[in-house]
Amino acid sequence: MSKKIDKEIVLKGIPAAPGIAMGQAFLLDQQDFIVTERQILPEEVTIEIARFEEAVSHTKYEIQGVKDKIIAQVGGLDAQIFDAHLLVLEDCMLIDEVKKRIRDNKCGAECAFSFVLHRYVSIFDKIQDEYIKERSSDVTDVGRRVLKHLMGESRLHDFESLQGEIIIVAHDISPSDAVTMYSKKILSFLTDVGGRTAHTAIIAKSLGVPAVLGLKDATLRVSNQDFLIVDGRKGVVIINPSDSTKRLYSKEKEKIAQYEGAILNTRDVPAETVDGHHLGLMANFEIRGEIPGVKKYGAEGIGLYRTEFFYMNRMDLPTEEEQYQDYKKIAEEMNPHMVIIRTLDLGGDKFLSSIQLPKEMAPFLGSRAIRLCLEEPEIFRTQLRAILRASAHGNVGMMYPMIAGPGELRAANGILKGVKQRLREKGVPFNENMPVGVMIEVPAAVMTAELLAKEASFFSIGTNDLIQYSLAVDRTNEKMAQFYEPAHPGVLRLIRRTINAAHDAGIKVSVCGEMASDPTLAMILMGLGVDSLSMSPSSIPQIKRAVRSLKFASIEEFAKQALRLSTGQEVEEYMINEIQKIVPDFYTYEA
């Protein structure tokens, strides 16, 4: 009897962490506890409430242990996601509702808690916003831990039994599960649910393993020990690949390994064209754990330090000292390279738990970024004090997000001036000449760029939002993806106008959006005249290779011709063809 040949199956999900992994699947059982209704006598109510309180106490201790572990391994900011778990256990409404159900229904603690838990999760699941919806995994993870203690289970998952190099496949992976697997040989994470903002994506990047999320039914289509290929760059998973597919991806892995090995040889080489024109290549940055990657890939500094992680997934506001210590350490570690800190950019698709803001019909057009800071000046002043104090310890710059015109810039600078004066009065050292720039992210800022340039130290073009607002496309809506055109002629003209206004005023201009990470689009930006690009650190070598392979005169001509084309697709096709004429193998490997 001939052996059954499994047919190759290709799944497509959301690319969450780059790289290629090949290995056996390990299907992670979520171990949802089966809770049966258990009636109790009136005199047992007190006992059941005590059991519930004890389970909550044990769970708090357990989560704090997980948090301490991740602090020791990858730093404090990654560990802040567990503050959200602890806050669930301190939710008075949830705790009181469970106790009330035990009293009123005369049911066991596990029954009452399970009922309330599922009600909370169902509320989260009905919310359309992706970021809030994904927080249901926090509640579910905490709930499983409490039920574990109530039902006497020894562990949630038998991670000690994990042997060899495996690819984890799960409906969802909680942050605490991922941290528990730090010491294991995990090749990749795959989940049915989740997106780029999921905690699993954050932890996968910290671990340096490929991840594909939002696969919908991977747990139904993958069996234990199936051989899988995971392409985290494209969000592709191949189940039971053919021999030819295995060979193809094996060669791709070798190519990536060779490419990454060559990175060390180019790390200290400048991004300079054949005819001697230099382009600054800097890194986008969020957490201290990324510093080794910033240095490994040869970034010339940090062009965009996003500070939102300080404020998200917590119910309290970060203190001045907490922020100062982190900014200071990063400035010291990167010195003498520049670190440009973007002031708080919350709202839109990023939420602040510690301030109850009214729900908005169009959050991207509401109270966000600099508007929120001007509405909450004390929060803004706290951050400004921390940034100014850190400026005494390195090469620190600062920029305001979402400035629409000179009025907002002057209002922000007015608050900054007051903060500086108070620091002087207290004798607190800071860099009096710290550069203060403006992010150009809305068409109104482009149209007033020549006015803004008179009052700003530099410009940084945030192309993600500039594209969104100029093309009227919600960049978080997957259905609108086909309309999100970075190379749209209108977008290119807005960028060119901004660059010209900056240079006419004698200030420099950078681009820190995703356009900067694309080698084709990066060459257009360079041709339009940008002074520097800021991107994901791993994208730097590819961009540097493009710069060092071409003449600046050619790049300028490419951009000039691109501006004469009618669609974004035409622009990208033209650029690819022109670059390949000069560097035939340029697109053979893309990070």
Catalytic residue positions, numbered: 199, 512
Instruction: State how far the Cα of 46 lies from the Cα of 102, in Å rounded to an integer.
Output: 9
- Tokens representing 432 are 């009096």
Entry field: residues in the chain: 591
3-class DSSP state for residue 577?
Answer: helix
> Cis peptide before 336, with omega less than 30 degrees from 0?
yes
Residues 6+ apart with CB under 8 A from 65: none
Amino acid identity, position 365: L
Phi, psi angles (nearest 5°) of residue 188: -170, 160
Q: Report the SS3 class of residue 488.
A: coil
Q: Note the helical H segments in 267-340.
A: 291-296, 320-334
58 with 51: CB under 8 angstroms? no
As a whole number of angstroms, the distance between CA 406 and CA 445 comes to 9
- Residue identified by tokens 């991207």 is 364
Q: How far apart are CA 582 and CA 275, in angstroms?
A: 14
559-565: long-range pairs with CB below 8 Å, 24+: 559/523, 559/524, 559/526, 559/527, 559/528, 560/527, 562/487, 562/492, 562/524, 562/527, 563/489, 563/492, 563/493, 563/496, 565/489
What would the two tokens of residue 383 be?
A: 């951050």
Torsion-angle region of 275 (φ positive above 0: left; ψ -120 to 50: alpha; else: beta):
alpha
Cα separation values, 148 from 3, 91, 118, 157, Å: 42, 19, 15, 11
Cα Rg for the chain, rounded, in angstroms?
A: 26
Residue type present at position 174: S
Tally of helices (H runs) and strands (E runs) in the chain: 24, 16
